[in-house]
A = this chain, B = another copy of it.
Amino acid sequence: MYIKKRKLARGVAIVGAEMSRFGAFDDRITRDLFVEAFGEMRKAVDKGFDPRDIEAVYFGNAANEQFEFQGHLAPILADWVGLVPRAITRIEAACASSGVAVRQGVLSVASGVNDVVLVAGVEKMTGLSAELTTSVISLGCDQVYEGKAGFTFPGLYAAMATAHMHRHGTSARQLMSVALKNHRNGALNAKAQFNATIADLMARRIARCRERGEPAPGWKAEWDFLEDAEANPVVAWPLRLFDCSPVSDGAACLLLASEDIARQFTDNPVYIIGTGQASDHALHERPDMTAIMAARRAASEAYDMAGVRPQDIKIAEVHDCFTIAEIVATEDLGFFAPGAGGRAAEEGLTARDGPKPINTSGGLKAKGHPVGASGAAQMVEIWRQMRGEAGPRQVAGRDIDLALTHNVGATGGTCVVHIFERRQ
């Protein structure tokens, strides 16, 4: 496909990044989550900074009107961290909201109008019943053609999974190997909603049975647990509970600066050298459900702008709202050939110590998926890994000079891809 060569009029870098703890918090609303992330991000700026230097704020949020009945949240958030009267702009792109917000922040710096920009992603999802939460999330699919047919997101991604299985022979076990890997990574991330491997979750479940004096299940290994229809029920075949990311609360913040002033904030900035965004038809209209066209196009744009190839990318955070989504992503991004993503996951190629580590943060699956925050939170992980600050889950034995994030809205109606560079 033809992609016009695009160039930013000036360079942009991340000079600070952090997130709130992700989880389900009864006592916290969106404002609290944002304030936590902003405070943590301030501490992550090596040389410190005066918040008054922030000239504009872009924030991603998918559905606060539904989750908290608060619209026009942008100026309220600005006010809670003292950023009134700065320009603050809310971007909604379903689960890609903060990935797209980062892109707008980058463009606003490149435009010459802003030098220092805060980007935030925020979502508080756990205040409603499970039924209402499912309804709110499903607003992101085409209500005229998909919603009225009864689709919710597990069903839509299940359709993609069965298409992938049919075309490429992808197996349910390959899907679940994505969840196993991402929980292994999340177990090493103290901010993750599931700071636990699937084996840990299984052990806790056995311990709870014992505490209650119930007969303990006979699971010996993770796969016993994952194949148990009660422990890991089918949500929408072939997707089972552990194929699905959770409902989460959380926020993430990034500080962007123009390239020429980035080193005022840190000697170790992470440069954003590629950005791409694209749209696609709703799922029911697509000729092919085994790939996401918007992801392929956004990736091509970002690779072209950055002047790098898929094989140059050392680590990536990709949008694993469901396990099938990670497999499709690794193919759409050119890391593996179409159809080879399932096998790659099963064989450990995307493990933290494999040749192409994917979702070292735990991904949406284990870290959590507060939808409007996920795109920005992906970059928090990239920031840490590229600077060698990822602690127990640091990818070792290689120079992480190039990294990528991939953030998807709905079933791929929106996709945004960013490429990052660390310079010596």
Q: With A92-B92, A143-B68, A281-B79 as given contacts, are A107 and B100 in contact (CB-CB < 8 Å)? A: no
| Identical subunits present | 2
Q: With A6-B112, A104-B104 as given contacts, are A79 and B278 in contact (CB-CB < 8 Å)? A: no
Check: A293 CB closer than 8 A to any chain B CB: yes
Q: With A107-B107, A107-B108 as given contacts, are A70 and B279 in contact (CB-CB < 8 Å)? A: no
The 0/1 profile, CB within 8 Å of B marked 1, for residues 53-73 of chain A is 001100000110110111110
Check: A110 CB closer than 8 A to any chain B CB: yes
Interface residues of A in 57-113 (CB under 8 A from B): 62-63, 65-66, 68-72, 74-76, 78-79, 83-94, 100, 103-104, 106-108, 110-113
Q: In whole angstroms, how far apart are the Cα atoms of A87 and B414 in the complex? A: 8
Q: In whole angstroms, how far apart are the Cα atoms of A106 and B279 in the complex? A: 20
Q: Which residues of B lie under 8 Å from residue A206 when comparing CB positions?
A: none
Say yes or no: A282 contacts B79, CB within 8 Å: yes
Check: A10 CB closer than 8 A to any chain B CB: yes
Say yes or no: B86 contacts A72, CB within 8 Å: no
**A140's contact among B7, B72, B281, by CB below 8 Å, is which?**
B72
Closest chain-B Cβ to A379's Cβ sits at a distance in Å of 18
Say yes or no: A280 contacts B93, CB within 8 Å: no
A72, A83, A94, A275 pick with most chain B CB within 10 angstroms: A72
Q: In whole angstroms, how far apart are the Cα atoms of A87 and B3 in the complex? A: 12
Q: How large is the interface on A (under 10, 10 to 19, 20 to 34, 35 or more residues)?
A: 35 or more
Q: Which B residue's beta carbon lies closest to that of A277?
A: B87
A4, A106, A107, A410 pick with most chain B CB within 10 angstroms: A107
Check: A229 CB closer than 8 A to any chain B CB: no
Check: A36 CB closer than 8 A to any chain B CB: no
- 14 example contacts (A-B, Cβ-Cβ < 8 A) are as follows A6-B114, A9-B110, A56-B277, A65-B65, A70-B142, A72-B141, A75-B279, A79-B285, A84-B280, A85-B278, A85-B279, A87-B298, A88-B414, A90-B92
Give 20 new A-B contacts, CB below 8 A, not counting A9-B111, A90-B92: A4-B55, A7-B112, A8-B111, A56-B277, A69-B139, A70-B142, A72-B139, A72-B414, A75-B280, A75-B409, A75-B414, A76-B142, A83-B279, A85-B294, A87-B277, A88-B414, A89-B91, A89-B104, A110-B110, A110-B113
